[in-house]
Amino acid sequence: MAIAPSGSYLWVATGSGITPYQISSTGALTQGSAISAFNDPVVGALQVDPSGKWLLDASLAGNLYAFPITTSGAQDTSRSIQTMQLASASAVQPGGLAISPSGSTYPIIAVALGATYGTQIFPFASGNAAPIGSPYSKTLTPYGKSGVAATVAVAIDPSNGFLYVGETDAFPGSTTGDTGALRVYAINSNSVTEISYTTPYPSGGTTPHAILAASNGYVYVANWQGASSGIVTAFLLNASTPSLTLQSNTVATGDEPYSMAVDSTGDFVMVVNSQGSPYFNAFTFDTTNTGQLDASATGSTAAGPVAIVAVPK
């Protein structure tokens, strides 16, 4: 399942299509009409662009769709759906689609395409009738061995114009089991440029399935750790260098953390874990140590959660 918030609506993709739900002041959901002009039964990831005009769908069938929507949670039938072919019909994960925040100098869409192709980048202009531009000429291939290493998550910095990419099997010889990688790219006009370092940053585990670039200047990565509980690692961004510094304080999650979100107040970071123990973690920001996360609450969900979003109240 993939989900995306838009104002007081929540767009939900399942095997039967994409449906909006209106969110009441009490949190109750009222189902709206599914997108009627198209039915994508293999949605991988969803995002709504910052203008609220477009619902972006990265499909496991190998397409990137831009569905025109209204602020009242419906398809805008006065505008056309745009379809762009992805480099691969790979397994796009819920964390494998990112779009630049409002006010970005060079707005883009990034899609994580798993092994071989890695990450594909498209320019994006919400005011255009067809908002997705032709993809950048080259995909960002994974750092590790071709066909083995895979890109599973992408995120875009809300303030500093950086793209973050999470990859598996980047360091297969690691003696600590920290085989995942976090890569960082500056976003330019018609290109992205990887920042200068000897190797990408070890992500803190084997599978960095979720990346949260927070407004406080920290980047949080939720990692699988094999059969062990997951972990969230924190990096501090120095935008002028640019560089990341791994922070010493980490927090444990349940097994196989899959998705991460920060609430609209900026007080809580929430994680869902596909294999439970627990299925849900909530963390607060430490009041003394900037950027540090403190365990706050745990909870249960239906088995196998893979996505979480926070809806503005």
From first to last of its 313 residues, what are the pLDDT tens digits of the chain? 688 888 788 888 866 678 888 988 887 889 988 875 566 668 888 999 999 999 999 988 899 999 999 988 888 999 999 999 999 877 788 889 999 999 999 999 999 999 989 999 999 999 999 999 999 988 999 999 999 999 999 999 988 889 999 999 999 988 888 999 999 999 999 899 999 999 999 999 999 999 999 988 999 999 998 778 999 999 999 999 999 999 988 999 999 999 999 987 788 999 999 999 999 999 999 999 989 999 999 988 877 788 888 776 5
- Reported pTM: 0.94
Per-residue 3-state assignment (H helix, E strand, C coil) for 234-271: EEEEECCCCEEEECCCCEECCCCEEEEEECCCCCEEEE
Place of tokens 């990137």: 64
Does a structural domain hold residue 11?
no
Does a structural domain hold residue 137?
yes
- The total domain count for the chain is 1
- 101's tokens: 């925040």
Does a structural domain hold residue 67?
no
Helix, coil or strand: residue 141:
coil
* CB neighbour list of residue 311: distance below 8 Å, 6 or more residues apart: 5, 8, 10, 23, 264
For position 15, what pLDDT does the model report? 61
Which structural domain range is residue 210 located in? 88-299
For position 94, what pLDDT does the model report? 82
The string of pLDDT tens digits covering residues 229-281 is: 999 999 999 999 999 999 988 999 999 999 999 987 788 999 999 999 999 99
Write the CATH number for 185. Answer: 2.130.10.10
Does a structural domain hold residue 214?
yes
Q: Among candidates 22, 21, 14, which has minimal Cα distance to 41?
A: 14
Does a structural domain hold residue 134?
yes
For position 35, what pLDDT does the model report? 79
For position 303, what pLDDT does the model report? 78
Does a structural domain hold residue 173?
yes
Does a structural domain hold residue 126?
yes
- 54's tokens: 């477009």
For position 227, what pLDDT does the model report? 75
Q: Among candidates 30, 191, 19, 168, which has minimal Cα distance to 95?
A: 168
Does a structural domain hold residue 208?
yes
Calculate Rg over the CA atoms of the chain. Answer: 18
For position 302, what pLDDT does the model report? 74
